[in-house]
Amino acid sequence: MTTYSYVQLDPRPAAVNPEFDYGIEITVPTLLLEQTNLDHHGQGATSQTPSAAEQALTAALPQAGSVLATVRSDADSVTAMAIFASRETGRRINKAIVTGVGKLDRLGPQARTRCKYAPIAIGRVSADYSRPLADRVAFVQSVLDGSVDPTQIKILVAEREAEFKAAVKASIVYNDVYGRIAVVVSTHRFATEIGYQRATVVVATNPKMPVFVGGKPDPSGATYLKHTVCQHNEFVGLNMAGIVAELNAIDPGWGGLPNIKGSPQNIGSKLTTEQVVEIVSRHLPA
């Protein structure tokens, strides 16, 4: 049994986070002190830089008993944790699956990989916040060493495909006039992923975003207009700083993580989807 434990960090400035020993894709520098941070988003990185999971195959193991932390428990970060746990205990690791996870993380849905279904199942479980992070890591370990029940993989993939189809059907999806921006108008949680099937830059609009009070949806059912601008990763080259500056001049309160920026929380945006797309289009890479 592994000696590692795992924590999810809250990247918000006022958040109080637990202590940890080793970071995996800690994209908020202020959360790091002297810890090692396994990442592929730093200065000089490219879309060919191995993902966190791919790096975990050969990186020096964290010390026994380490607390491993991430700010986003996605397929890449959870797989990296699983690889460390498996290497510590001598469990088998299917490197082809790791490569598949890494390619999807680095290159997006259009990435070609020999392992199609395992990364989808890993991604679905990794993002399931109803399950303890340690359980998600253990599931990925079972996928990597082949001990997982194949029926579980089939069920997870089928669930994802059914939910994705329903999300597309319930959404308005199109590309901007030049085909470089995917526009999605939807209330579904898959809105961004739907967009990434069409482009690496997405403008998503939720016309009925729930208002949250104390971390929970307002009991009154109140909603507001919410826009999100995102790029699959920083290698896309979108000028996020320029976009946020222009948006804030018109609609103050935009902010977020490096590759995902959103309109003000709990306050309806003053902008239309078309206006946001127009602003984003001025900051696309050449």
What's the angle, vertex CA 38, arms to CA 138 and CA 97, rounded to 5? 45
- 219-242: per-residue pLDDT in tens? 888 999 999 999 987 778 899 999
- The pLDDT tens digits along the chain (286 residues) read 999 999 999 887 888 999 999 999 998 888 999 999 998 766 666 778 899 999 999 999 999 999 999 998 999 999 999 999 999 999 999 999 999 999 988 887 767 777 889 999 999 999 999 999 999 999 999 999 999 999 999 999 999 999 999 999 999 999 999 999 999 999 998 899 899 989 999 999 999 999 877 666 778 889 999 999 999 877 788 999 999 999 999 999 999 878 899 999 889 999 999 999 999 999 999 8
Please state which CATH class domain 171-281 belongs to: alpha beta
What's the angle, vertex CA 131, arms to CA 13 and CA 85, rounded to 5? 85
Classify strands 255-257 and 223-231 as parallel, antiparallel or unpaired: unpaired
Give the CB-side neighbour count of residue 158, counting CA atoms within 13 A: 6
Residue-averaged pLDDT of the chain: 92
Do 48 and 94 touch, CB atoms closer than 8 A?
A: no
pLDDT confidence of residue 198: 92
pTM of the model: 0.77
* Spatial separation of the C-alpha atoms in residues 130 and 110, rounded to whole Å: 29
Classify strands 172-175 and 67-70 as parallel, antiparallel or unpaired: unpaired
- 275-284: per-residue pLDDT in tens? 999 999 999 9
* Spatial separation of the C-alpha atoms in residues 8 and 10, rounded to whole Å: 7
* Spatial separation of the C-alpha atoms in residues 86 and 102, rounded to whole Å: 17
**CA distances from residue 232 to 40, 200, 236 in whole angstroms, order as listed:** 13, 5, 7
- Cite the residue boundaries of each domain of the chain with CATH code 3.10.310: 171-281
